[in-house]
Each structure stands twice: as structure tokens, then as C-alpha cells.
Amino acid sequence: MMDIPEYYRKFQDQSARIESPVTPPPIEEEPAEPDRSEIFECHSFTIEKPEGWKGKIIYTIPGPVENGIQHNVIITVEENSPFNSLLDYADWHIHTLERELNDCRLLKKDKISLANGIPAYEAIFSWYPTSDLEIIQRQIFILAAGTGFKLTASFTQETLDTLGPKIEMMIRSFNPLA
């Protein structure tokens, strides 16, 4: 059995419902017949899943380990997003993170543009996974052709200065193909 640090044990109870002031619009779906399945296909695999389950694609671009943390950029792709507004999409994710991480502080949120001119929304958070380690987390939200993209990068205060410019260049170069 895997030894999970005490701080992260609270995230194991998935029965807790996260309430948000921004409610995603309902997705109209036909009722599914019980015990049916469909094939989910992703770049290098397929899996049979129950009908009605949705695929969520998460890419991780790993970088160096510095100051005790693995730096990376995580790109979450949410196809068929129920949001029509970039601000609503970003606010829903921001509020959800604030609720999930009790000690999380929102430091900044603002509209930005990617290098290609696509509008995006940025949120920067600070939180302490342990009493002596502050994590600065940057999230960028993009909504393009019904697909939501969330880019996440985490830093220490020190690596924000050393790795931050490289990661900023990566994030600004993001180009949805939709």
C-alpha cells in the first residue's frame, strides 16, 4: 500500500461536492442504456469505458527537478466544454482550486493574450503543501472551438525567477489546433 502524506489524505474522499458560484450550463444528453460501453481512443491506446463517461486528456511536459520539486507544464484538454465564456470557464476552475486547497491564496487573475493573439485568462496562486515549502502555481485558461485548455506550472519562489522565463515562453507559445 502506498504511503500518502497526511496533507494529501483529505483529497482521497471524492464524495465531497465542490460548490462553485459559477455553474456550468447543462449538457443536453440522451439517456444512456445501462451496461453499454464505447471505445475511447487516444493517441497511443484505446480502452473500453461505460457509455456516458467522458475522456479528459492531460499532458505533462516534465522539466528539471529544482528546490525539491519536479517542474513541469501540465496541459489539461477538456473537449466539449459546457462553458461559452472564457471568464466563466476560468472562474469555475479558480473557485474549484480555492475550495480544494484550503490554504490556497489567489495572488493574481487577469486577461492575457498568447503570442498568437488568442485571448486567455491567467490565475496565480500560492499554497503550502508542507509548513516550509511555498508553491507558486500559475494557471492559464483558454477556450477555443468548444474545447477548454488549462495550462498549469508550479514553482518555488526561487525557481519562479530561474525557470519562470522559460515556462512563460512555453505557455505563450501554446496554439490550439481547433
Which range, 9-18, 44-53, 110-119, 169-178, has the best average confidence (pLDDT)?
Answer: 110-119
- Which residues of the chain form beta strands (DSSP E)? 37-42, 45-50, 57-66, 69-78, 105-113, 119-130, 133-144, 147-155
Domain spans in the chain, listed from the N-terminal domain onward: 55-178
C-alpha cell at 14: 471524492
Q: Within a 13 Å sphere around the CA of 76, how many CA atoms are in the beta-carbon half? A: 14
Tell me if 118 sits within 8 A of 141, measured CB to CB.
Answer: no
- What confidence tens digit (pLDDT) does each residue in 41-78 have? 666 778 888 888 877 889 999 999 998 889 999 999 99
pTM over 0.85: no
Fold topology of 55-178 = Protein Transport Mog1p; Chain A (3.40.1000)
